Amino acid sequence: MNPDQLIEGLTWFVVFIFSTTLHEAGHALVAWKLGDPTAYEGGQVSLNPWPHIQREPVGMVLVPIISFALNGWMMGWASAPYDPGWAHRYPKRAALMAAAGPAANLLLAVIAGLLIRSGLAYRIPGAIMPVGILFMLNLLLFAFNLLPVPPLDGSAILPMFMSDNAARRYREFLHQPMFSLLGLLLAWKVFPYLFEPLQAVALSLLR
Q: Which residues are catalytic?
A: 24
Distances (CA, A) of 169 to 40, 71, 94, 120: 27, 40, 14, 49
CB neighbours of 50 closer than 8 A, spacing ≥ 6? none
What is the four-CA torsion angle of 64, 65, 66, 67, rounded to 10 degrees?
A: 50
Task: For residues 202 and 116, give the distance between their C-alpha atoms in angstroms, rounded to a whole number.
Answer: 12
In the chain the first and final C-alpha atoms are separated, in Å, by 33
Q: Where on the phi/psi map is residue 72: left (φ > 0), alpha (ψ -120 to 50), or beta?
A: left
Crossing angle for the helix pair 91-118 and 128-145, to the nearest 10 degrees: 150
Is the CB of residue 106 less than 8 Å from the CB of residue 202? no
How many Cβ atoms from other residues are within 10 Å of residue 7's Cβ? 12
